[in-house]
Structure 1
Amino acid sequence: MIAPHETFGGTYPFRPHFSSAPGFTMHYVDEGAGPVLLCLHGEPTWGYLFRDLVHRFSAGHRVVVPDHMGFGKSETPADRSYLVQDHIDNLEAFVLDLDLHDITLVLHDFGGPVGMGLAARRPERVARVVSVNGPTPFGQPGLGAALAGNADEAPWFRWIARAHRDGRLESVLGELGYHILSTLKLNGFENNQVISDTWIEAYGAAFPTPAEALGAIGWAKGLATGAHVFEEPSGAARAALAGVPALAVWGSADRTLNGGYFLPLFREAFPGGTVAELPGVGHYAFEDAPEAIAGLLAEFLDTTSSAVTVAS
């Protein structure tokens, strides 16, 4: 894992915090005060993805950014499973440990199903949902077809399936720290202006050895084997969350998660939700279009709460 006080040249200057409630050492950023923005990253990123959002929104919100097990500054235990259902367990324990309420979930990539798992289990704690290129599977009948159709088209998913068949998945992803940039580009990363040695180091530093890459391997292998379990909400939870204010922001240049498959699932789960598509923005939309996302998020929060303060 990344050293606790590593700031990557001051680009991630936030004080580290840790929780042992999930059964391992889970790192999180906790900046500001007020209504909670709980930001959940995916593959193969960590809390660094949300650094701009933390700067902008901690003036009026409590911005909490955990690193999932096996990512960022969190521990990578050798004896744990890294499937979606395990990350949901971890997140639930974390949220209960911090006793977070009135949560606005901010979801990206695998953070989508993990965050929706929390929402299914603890709907009373979720006030809003914001999906940024993050699927919101909620046990819908169309989920299987969406996953299959997307997997047939997306280069990343096709590579996972082929590498698993060939027995190369663990060996290749075990070296993720050395080919992090090509992985990000394959998934759909468009804003080359942000690339620097520091930026590449920040994203690759969590995976220096195969033993430290178990989180990335687990998420990919779960897709290849069909081992991920998406949380099925109760009828009461589904009905409660259907009325929650929700926003989907989707970079339409995403080569890994095609909005044509996943935005219908969002609309089904949140019939009153709002969708904004961003042309030319890729899978890592927080890197490609931070100002556009900040503006949409600020407007959404402003219209669903009494006040929001955003730093310039």
Structure 2
Amino acid sequence: MEQVIPGSEIRAEQRQDIYTLEAWQQAGKWFSYDGHAIFSRMAGAGAPLVLLHGFPTASWDWSRIWQMLASQNQLLSLDMLGFGFSDKPSDYAYSIEDQADLVQGWIEGLGLTSVHLLAHDYGSTVVQELLARDQEASLSFRIASVCLLNGGLFPEVHNPLLIQKILKSPLGGLISRGLTRGTFERNFRRLFGERNPPEHPDMEDFWQLLTYNNGRGILHQLIQFMEERRCHRNRWVGALQNASQPMRLITGTADPVSGSAMARRYRELIPAPDVVSLRNVGHYPHFEAPWDVFSAYRDFRGSFSD
């Protein structure tokens, strides 16, 4: 199934519902994972819906769609270890598998027996690992459905920015620690569609989240997930191909990193692919076109019984 949506601008009434970064942090709670503090947000009522963010950002990415989703779901989101308001230890072996352990333990600790998953970018790779575990019967909860936003699901068509390649290289530590706001902004803005670029206050918030708790100093460690995607390609692509749950991909086609090419590969490899394409939208569709993403997600959830 294929749907193509032109991609709309953020409406005035939606802007009134956007959380400030300070309000987002104040409404959160922290829990401990392996001795490290993890920031989380919960709201709403209904079936549990876990939201997983991308690299190098945080759960605040969901702020523009949060209230819309909370009207119909029990929302659960967190800043994964090394991101946002969570701890960012410098001497740590960051990995997708470890982040999946974090998410799995969190869900199980909350006593949830069934969850829906909505993920972006880095979070989508965590979902692929969780799906693989589900197929191995190693989860104590049921994954009821999966919806994925732009991300490197298939490493062979992932097209990282030059700065990402450098961060992953042996020079990564030096580049990471010396990253300036100007360099970050120039590269980060390239990920967005022309219709809804981040405004100056948005960039201030993204930069604050990145640099909180010395976040710049570990970017070169976090970005090794790109190599993990290649190493675990068969496991994680197989998890998508073998998934029995309802599954939808919502993709911003103007994304230079994981947009149209990723969606084409998804349609080639995934049985009965369900794809919604948002034209003029880049790598952060839930931030750029929240109403379109909400509508596509609401329709997806309405297409099957929980």
TM-score (norm 2): 0.79
Deviations 1:108-151 (A, max 9, x none): 11111111212221355210110111344xxxxxxxxx524434
The separation in 2 between residues aligned to 1:278 and 1:17, in whole angstroms, is 33
Corresponding residue of 1:29: 41
Corresponding residue of 2:189: 185
Corresponding residue of 1:108: 120
Corresponding residue of 1:142: none
Cα distance, 1:288–1:301 mapped onto 2, change above 3 Å: same
The separation in 2 between residues aligned to 1:125 and 1:22, in whole angstroms, is 24
Displacement of 1:161 in angstroms is: 3.0
Displacement of 1:280 in angstroms is: 0.9
Displacement of 1:173 in angstroms is: 2.7
The separation in 2 between residues aligned to 1:226 and 1:287, in whole angstroms, is 25
The separation in 2 between residues aligned to 1:57 and 1:149, in whole angstroms, is 31
Give the number of aligned pairs: 282
Kept in 2, the 8 Å contact 1:38–1:103? The answer is yes
The separation in 1 between residues aligned to 2:286 and 2:156, in whole angstroms, is 26
Kept in 1, the 8 Å contact 2:249–2:276? The answer is yes
The answer as to 2:210 corresponding to 1:203 is no
* Equivalent AA in structure 1 for residue 44 of structure 2: G
The separation in 1 between residues aligned to 2:80 and 2:260, in whole angstroms, is 24
The separation in 2 between residues aligned to 1:30 and 1:75, in whole angstroms, is 19
Corresponding residue of 1:141: none
| Aligned residues with identical type, % of pairs | 21
Deviations 1:71-121 (A, max 9, x none): 111111222112222222222222222233321111111111111212221
The separation in 1 between residues aligned to 2:134 and 2:248, in whole angstroms, is 19
Corresponding residue of 1:220: 223
Q: Runs of 5+ in structure 2 lacking a partner?
A: 1-18, 136-140
Displacement of 1:248 in angstroms is: 0.6
The answer as to 2:291 corresponding to 1:275 is no
Kept in 1, the 8 Å contact 2:37–2:87? The answer is yes
Q: 1:129 aligns with which of 138, 141, 146?
A: 146
Deviations 1:136-192 (A, max 9, x none): 4xxxxxxxxx524434xx4x1x44334555x43223333557244223213345444
The answer as to 2:71 corresponding to 1:59 is yes
Kept in 1, the 8 Å contact 2:131–2:243? The answer is no
Displacement of 1:259 in angstroms is: 3.4
* Equivalent AA in structure 2 for residue 41 of structure 1: H
Corresponding residue of 1:90: 102
Cα distance, 1:177–1:75 mapped onto 2, change above 3 Å: farther
Kept in 1, the 8 Å contact 2:43–2:70? The answer is yes
SS in structure 1 at match of 2:165 = helix
Displacement of 1:195 in angstroms is: 0.8
Q: Runs of 5+ in structure 1 lacking a partner?
A: 1-5, 137-145, 307-312
The separation in 2 between residues aligned to 1:99 and 1:174, in whole angstroms, is 39
Cα distance, 1:98–1:259 mapped onto 2, change above 3 Å: farther
Corresponding residue of 1:8: 21
The separation in 1 between residues aligned to 2:40 and 2:212, in whole angstroms, is 22
Kept in 2, the 8 Å contact 1:88–1:115? The answer is yes
Kept in 1, the 8 Å contact 2:82–2:218? The answer is yes
SS in structure 1 at match of 2:276 = strand
SS in structure 2 at match of 1:42 = coil
Displacement of 1:31 in angstroms is: 0.6
The answer as to 2:158 corresponding to 1:150 is yes
TM-score (norm 1): 0.78
The separation in 2 between residues aligned to 1:50 and 1:36, in whole angstroms, is 15
* Equivalent AA in structure 2 for residue 131 of structure 1: L
Kept in 1, the 8 Å contact 2:118–2:148? The answer is yes
Corresponding residue of 2:176: 173
